């Protein structure tokens, strides 16, 4: 090394003007720690290749410190572009909220609220009061309550009504959802005993009847929302089960999963069961998620008989599973949109995305393709292509949604696997990551959920492909 050290001291760096800006943003302690780390790295580099000492200067060090701080402070949890073709993608956060719901969260986040305060009496109130009336009017139910998600609802119902008792469930309905919700496991953790009835493909009312004894607590029907049993099959209808349950004075519970509050057929989509249909069939309690087809926040709505809902609310587990004020505010605002079904497909993002026409998506692809060709054209072939998407989160497992995608295919001269890996990795590394779907040696960017075209193009313009 030369006679005076090339590497500046921590203190001399801390008083530089650009460093003061970093200290203001990130704090003195973190900035100092990062300076030390950056200097240690530089010393190590110089030890390996002494010629590097001549390229070190203060501006460069400030740049390294700034980059390092930005990396440390960057949130790990951030928005992404969901171009997978699955509209309600559990790993990508399921439903996108309506503006009305986002504003409602904002309002209760900023100020105190009457979450559990009755403004008429001045006494303690009930947080369910903000949603119960509107849910009852939309579903035709007597009473309603909320907990954190459908898995919690099933646990709460079973633990309240079937603790140390038996619950017969059809072998065709012992479902697993998203890897961790498995009916047999939830039942044992709820403290009740599952009695399997019927077979995988065929279950008859006589199978349920034969399972009834003095320890039977209730009947439960589980919507097989993520698969379909086809061929030589038989399932017992909700109304048959309700009749048998009531003959033996047992409650009948339906785990509906992705219940929707409107008939999707009105919007040109395949029909999905609604909670109201289960009520009409005679169900006493129905559970359905808030962040699936309903298009709201993560929660579950439990509707049904008011005596049973009152029992659920008395279980101490209810307190352990209760929803926070943001969820209640967002759900209440989402439910209010259902009061005007004519505007729903415009205001509710889930329904808006599900009802976009293939022609609209195709036109969008034509606007995007020139930019994509410009940036990726040297290494990839870019084209528009018809594809199939899905609703996701256990709705309509068999019906596919006609959709349209931009297809990114590596040119022949390159190793296909490597080129696909490179593009998907780079898309995931963007400030707002872009997530597509790999299929048949191409990357498919399904455009159904792409609503912010300009931001997408801005992200694409940041791509650097060798
Ligand atoms: C999705 C689903 C669940 C789990 O719901 P979460 O809200 O994800 O806990 C349970 N049962 C059925 C039938 C479902 O479709």
**Residue-wise pLDDT tens digits, 130-142:** 999 999 999 999 9
Q: Is the pLDDT of residue 226 over 80?
A: no
Q: Is the pLDDT of residue 4 over 80?
A: no
Q: Are strands 143-147 and 300-304 parallel, antiparallel or unpaired?
A: antiparallel
Count each helix (H run) and each strand (E run) in the chain, helices first: 19, 15
- Mean pLDDT, the chain, integer: 94
pTM of the model: 0.92
Which atom of ligand 1 is nearest to 394's Cα? Answer: 15
Question: What pLDDT is stored for residue 414 in this prediction?
Answer: 67
Per-residue confidence band for 104, with pLDDT thresholds at 50, 70 and 90? very high
Ligand 1 centroid – CA 327 distance (Å): 17
CA-angle at 292, arms to 288 and 295, nearest 5°: 110
Question: What pLDDT is stored for residue 35 in this prediction?
Answer: 97
Query: Which residue has a Cα nearest atom 5 of ligand 1?
Result: 150
Question: What pLDDT is stored for residue 341 in this prediction?
Answer: 93
Lowest mean pLDDT of 59-63, 64-68, 157-161, 268-272, name the range. 268-272
Radius of gyration of the chain (CA): 28
Q: Measured from the CB, is residue 64 less than 6 Å from ligand 1?
A: no
Residue with tokens 């068999």: 398
Question: 45-56 as b/e, with b when 16 or more CB fall inside 10 Å?
Answer: ebeeeeeebeeb
What is the spatial distance between Cα 73 and Cα 250, in angstroms, rounded to a whole number?
55
Q: What is the mean pLDDT of residues 393-400?
A: 68
Ligand 1 centroid – CA 225 distance (Å): 8
**Domain architecture of the chain: domains with CATH:** 3-73 (no CATH), 81-90+354-460 (3.90.1150.110), 99-347 (3.40.640.10)
Q: Is the pLDDT of residue 18 over 60?
A: yes
Question: What pLDDT is stored for residue 389 in this prediction?
Answer: 92
Q: Measured from the CB, is residue 289 less than 6 Å from ligand 1?
A: yes
Q: Measured from the CB, is residue 257 less than 6 Å from ligand 1?
A: yes
Helices (H), 321-415: 325-337, 341-347, 349-354, 358-376
Q: Which two tokens stand for residue 229?
A: 């049993």
Per-residue confidence band for 428, with pLDDT thresholds at 50, 70 and 90? very high
What is the spatial distance between Cα 163 and Cα 80, in angstroms, rounded to a whole number?
42
Q: Is the pLDDT of residue 5 over 70?
A: no
From 399, 377, 402, select the one nearest 388 (Cα to Cα): 402
What is the spatial distance between Cα 338 and Cα 274, in angstroms, rounded to a whole number?
14
Ligand 1 centroid – CA 148 distance (Å): 11
H/E run at residue 131: helix 129-139
Contact 252, 304 (CB under 8 A): no
Per-residue confidence band for 464, with pLDDT thresholds at 50, 70 and 90? confident
Question: What pLDDT is stored for residue 180 in this prediction?
Answer: 79
Q: Is the pLDDT of residue 2 over 60?
A: no
Question: What pLDDT is stored for residue 466 in this prediction?
Answer: 57
Question: What pLDDT is stored for residue 1 in this prediction?
Answer: 42
From 268, 156, 148, select the one nearest 220 (Cα to Cα): 156
Detail the DSSP E strand segments found in 246-329. Answer: 252-257, 285-289, 300-304
Question: Residue 257: which region, alpha, beta or left (left: phi > 0; alpha: psi -120 to 50)?
Answer: left
Q: What is the mean pLDDT of residues 151-173?
A: 97
Per-residue confidence band for 51, with pLDDT thresholds at 50, 70 and 90? confident
Q: Residues of the chain with pLDDT > 90: what percent? A: 85
Contact 302, 153 (CB under 8 A): yes
């Amino acid at each position: 090394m030369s006679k005076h050290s090339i590497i500046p001291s921590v203190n001399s760096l801390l008083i530089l003007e650009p460093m003061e800006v970093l200290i203001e943003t990130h704090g003195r302690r973190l900035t100092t720690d990062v300076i030390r780390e950056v200097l240690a790295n530089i010393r190590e580099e110089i030890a390996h290749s002494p010629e590097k000492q001549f390229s070190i200067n203060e501006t460069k060090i400030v740049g390294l410190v700034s980059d390092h701080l930005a990396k440390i402070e960057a949130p790990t949890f951030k928005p992404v572009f969901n171009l997978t073709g699955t509209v309600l993608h559990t790993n990508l956060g399921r439903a996108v909220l309506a503006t009305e719901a986002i504003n409602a969260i904002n309002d209760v986040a900023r100020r105190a609220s009457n979450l559990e305060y009755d403004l008429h009496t001045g006494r303690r109130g009930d947080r369910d009061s903000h949603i119960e009336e509107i849910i009852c009017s939309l579903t035709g139910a007597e009473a309603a309550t909320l907990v954190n998600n459908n898995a919690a609802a099933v646990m709460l119902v079973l633990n309240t009504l079937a603790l140390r008792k038996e619950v017969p469930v059809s072998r065709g309905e012992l479902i697993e959802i998203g890897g961790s919700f498995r009916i047999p496991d939830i039942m044992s953790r709820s403290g009740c005993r599952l009695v399997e009835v019927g077979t995988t493909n065929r279950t008859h009312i006589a199978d349920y009847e034969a399972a009834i004894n003095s320890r039977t607590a209730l009947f439960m029907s589980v919507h097989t929302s993520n698969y379909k049993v086809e061929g030589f099959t038989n399932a017992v209808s909700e109304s048959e089960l309700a009749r048998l349950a009531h003959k033996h004075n047992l409650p009948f519970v339906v785990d509906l999963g992705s219940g929707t509050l409107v008939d999707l057929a009105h919007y040109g989509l395949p029909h999905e069961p609604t909670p109201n249909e289960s009520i009409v069939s005679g169900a006493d309690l129905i559970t359905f998620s808030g962040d699936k087809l309903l298009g709201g926040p993560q929660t579950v709505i439990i509707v049904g008989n008011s005596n049973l809902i009152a029992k659920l609310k008395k279980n101490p587990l209810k307190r352990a599973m209760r929803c926070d004020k943001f969820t209640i505010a967002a759900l209440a605002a989402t439910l209010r949109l259902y009061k005007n079904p004519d505007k729903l497909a415009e205001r509710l993002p889930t329904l808006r995305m599900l009802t976009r026409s293939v022609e609209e998506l195709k036109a969008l692809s034509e606007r995007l393709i020139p930019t994509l060709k410009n940036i990726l054209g040297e290494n990839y072939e870019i084209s528009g292509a018809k594809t199939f998407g899905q609703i996701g989160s256990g709705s309509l497992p068999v019906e596919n949604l006609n959709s349209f995608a931009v297809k990114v295919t590596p040119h022949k001269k390159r190793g296909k696997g490597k080129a696909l890996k490179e593009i998907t990795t780079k898309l995931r590394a963007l400030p707002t990551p872009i997530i597509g779907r790999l299929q048949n040696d191409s990357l498919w960017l399904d455009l159904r959920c792409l609503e912010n075209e300009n931001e997408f193009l801005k992200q694409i313009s940041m791509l650097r492909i060798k």
